[in-house]
Structure 1
Amino acid sequence: MDETGFLSLMMTEIETYAAGVVEAAPRIAAAVLVILLTWIIVRLVRWIVSRVTQRARMRRNLRDVLMMLSGIAIWVVGLLISSTILFPSVTPGRALTTLGLGSVAVGFAFKDVFENFLAGLLILLREPFKIGDHIWSDEAGIEGQVEDITIRDTRIRQTDGQLAVMPNAQLFQNPVVVRTDTELRRTSIICGVAYGEDVDAARDVILEAVRNVDSVRNDVRDVQVFAQAFGASSIDFEIAWWTGSRPLDIRASRDQVVAAVKRALDEAGIEIPFPYRTLTFKADSPVPLPEARNEAEAPSTA
């Protein structure tokens, strides 16, 4: 093929292509218009969802998720409509079938990602715990304060100051104890008094001492003091009271209660026993007995 024939073929192809573009111009314009309208509708719907969720006092992360999901749903519909307009051979049924098969393939490839996504969505919807709560999960091996809840993970500041990023699936599948679900939480300690002391008098002294501690909320629920068991060297009392639910509140209140009980028992002359040990030696023991030592140390009168 000479140069003239090649140029002629190229011009024919260009004219055919240009004619096809001109013929498809209305469809292209309609598809672009649909995409533009979709963008406007997405912005409007996101604004409406934001306003409604704010009035409903939903948490910020949940508002963001709802806005994102609503935007994705509208974009999927808009792109399906624009694709059927631009390519008449692509019917909505075929497009949905292709989208479904693609979603299955992506779902298998990113199983863990979608599992955490759905778990995060359910956590945000059900709100078993919120930002600022102290939680504990034995199975997940985590305890601390919730700092942030995202759609994929939850960030927890542990009691030792370290930041733990937990996948939402682990928190959703395992039991989680929310320590600060209410403002108050009960705590307890064990205190022993000597067997020779009066049990009722010791109980009254302990009860009065704990009631006078500032961090003890006996205005909500009264202090409870029960003789619990016969210990190795003492009668053991269980002292239970209500205080703030944060771990720091619990530790500070225990410190105050222990100090108050010790001070009250000392002032009342009630003994807090400690273990006694009696050592028995055989007669032929190589360790000298006290009497033997005393005889050996006694001055000679001879």
Structure 2
Amino acid sequence: MDAEQLHFDLEPVMQRLLEEAYRLLAALPMLLLALLVISLCWAAGGWLSRRAVLERFTSRNPFMRDLTRTTVRWSATVIGILIALEIMNATALVGAVLGTAGVLGVALGFAFKNTMENYLAGILMSLRQPFAPKDHVVIDGNEGVVVALTSRATVLMTLDGNHLRVPNALVFSSVMLNYTRNPSRRFSFDVGIGVNEDLVLAQRIGTSKLDSLDGVMDTPPPRAYITALGDSNVQVRYHAWVDQRSHDFISVKSEAIRQVKLALEEAEMDMPEPIYRVQLTERSAVLTPTAGAPESPAAKPKLQPSSESAVDMRVQGDLDAQIAQDQSKRGAEDLLDPSAPRE
């Protein structure tokens, strides 16, 4: 193979490069005009996103306000890009760009499925909130007081003072129990009464004591029902209602159990303990008490219980300081609004 066959002709390549350079120089004014249009549309979108009309519609929801502003600005920018492509006579690229964006959107949708679910659930819950700040709720078995609602999770503070983050998608799709929504809340407890006692009298004694207890509502009134016949007693269940706005639910229930027990004892009602069968066997040696042995419990004097209530049953604010401190650190991240509509 001689040298003439290995010679490459670069003249067509250089000619093509020169033609493309001349074409680029000729299109440079249009390119600058297209960039100017995109910049103007971006600035116009920013101006529109700060208008008072949008503020009026989204003033109660900072999350929706930021989302609306971003949507308006990017919508104006996309319009500017389409106009720029039309100026550059490159509208054929729109179909390719849209197709690529569609494929990319599907891929990102699968990759960030959980993130998008939490984000969309946060948007829906911020529009019509299922709970208010400091509501006592149970969500999918997770109990706590609502601290904040973010774009990705709902923050609860457990009754032990621990932070609990529940994904918004789980909150949106789960069964939710809200103890705070209705201020009136009912408690109940069972008492075993002897089978030979007057059960109607036991019911009347318990309900009378509950009716006079501070923190128990007059309407609905306290009630008592016979629920079961046990091996050694009859189960009587007492019900009463508490106004959670002024009294602590747990404290009132605790004091109610104590007061009903004392009232039944004062009436000499038999409250038998469960009966067990004990089998005794004879032993060869008899145990005798030795010196220094502890005194028998039967010989100790019994303390007389006090029938007067000394328990503070007002609303307890054990978590209020911690919740207020946490909310003050979050600032605008919290999407909950006490005045927003509730479901």
TM range (shorter): 0.7 to 0.9
1:234 is displaced (CA, Å) by: 1.8
Q: 1:23 to 1:254 in 2, by over 3 A?
A: closer
Contact 1:135 1:176 in 2 (8 A): yes
Cα deviation code 1:217-252 (max 9, x no counterpart): 12x311111122222322211001111459x93311
Separation in 2 of the partners of 1:35 and 1:185? 55
Correspondence for 2:227: 228
Q: Which has the higher contact order (CA 8 A, sep 6+)?
A: 2
SS in 2 for 1:233: coil
| Paired amino acid for 2:255 | Q
1:192 is displaced (CA, Å) by: 1.7
Correspondence for 2:153: 153
Separation in 2 of the partners of 1:273 and 1:132? 43
Separation in 2 of the partners of 1:223 and 1:289? 57
| Paired amino acid for 1:42 | S
| Paired amino acid for 1:234 | N
The correspondence of residues 258-269 of structure 1 with structure 2, limited to 5 A, is 258-269=257-268
| Paired amino acid for 1:33 | L
SS in 1 for 2:231: coil
Query: Is 2:135 aligned against 1:133?
Result: yes
1:155 is displaced (CA, Å) by: 0.4
SS in 2 for 1:181: coil
Normalised by the length of structure 2, the TM-score is 0.68
Structure 1 unmatched ranges of 5 or more? 1-11, 294-302
The correspondence of residues 64-213 of structure 1 with structure 2, limited to 5 A, is 64-88=62-86, 89-90=90-91, 95-137=97-139, 140-213=140-213
1:165 is displaced (CA, Å) by: 0.8
Correspondence for 2:55: 50
SS in 2 for 1:87: helix
Separation in 2 of the partners of 1:149 and 1:255? 33
1:19 is displaced (CA, Å) by: 6.0
1:205 is displaced (CA, Å) by: 0.8
Contact 1:49 1:66 in 2 (8 A): no
Q: 1:13 to 1:240 in 2, by over 3 A?
A: same
Contact 1:80 1:95 in 2 (8 A): no
Q: 1:191 to 1:83 in 2, by over 3 A?
A: same
Q: 1:106 to 1:82 in 2, by over 3 A?
A: same
Cα deviation code 1:145-180 (max 9, x no counterpart): 111111210001111111011111122222222222
Correspondence for 2:44: 37
Cα deviation code 1:13-72 (max 9, x no counterpart): 99986765445433333332221111100111xx43333344xxx5xxxx1232233223
Normalised by the length of structure 1, the TM-score is 0.76
1:286 is displaced (CA, Å) by: 3.4
Separation in 1 of the partners of 2:95 and 2:127? 32
SS in 2 for 1:229: strand
| Paired amino acid for 2:129 | E
Structure 2 unmatched ranges of 5 or more? 1-18, 289-343
Q: 1:71 to 1:98 in 2, by over 3 A?
A: farther
Query: Is 2:25 aligned against 1:25?
Result: no
SS in 2 for 1:192: strand
Separation in 1 of the partners of 2:58 and 2:209? 49
Correspondence for 2:331: none
1:105 is displaced (CA, Å) by: 2.4
- Note the aligned Cα RMSD (angstroms): 3.1
Separation in 2 of the partners of 1:151 and 1:235? 53
Q: 1:278 to 1:98 in 2, by over 3 A?
A: closer
SS in 2 for 1:270: coil
Separation in 2 of the partners of 1:251 and 1:93? 65
Q: Which moved more, 1:116-125 or 1:188-197?
A: 116-125
Q: 1:131 to 1:93 in 2, by over 3 A?
A: farther
SS in 2 for 1:127: coil
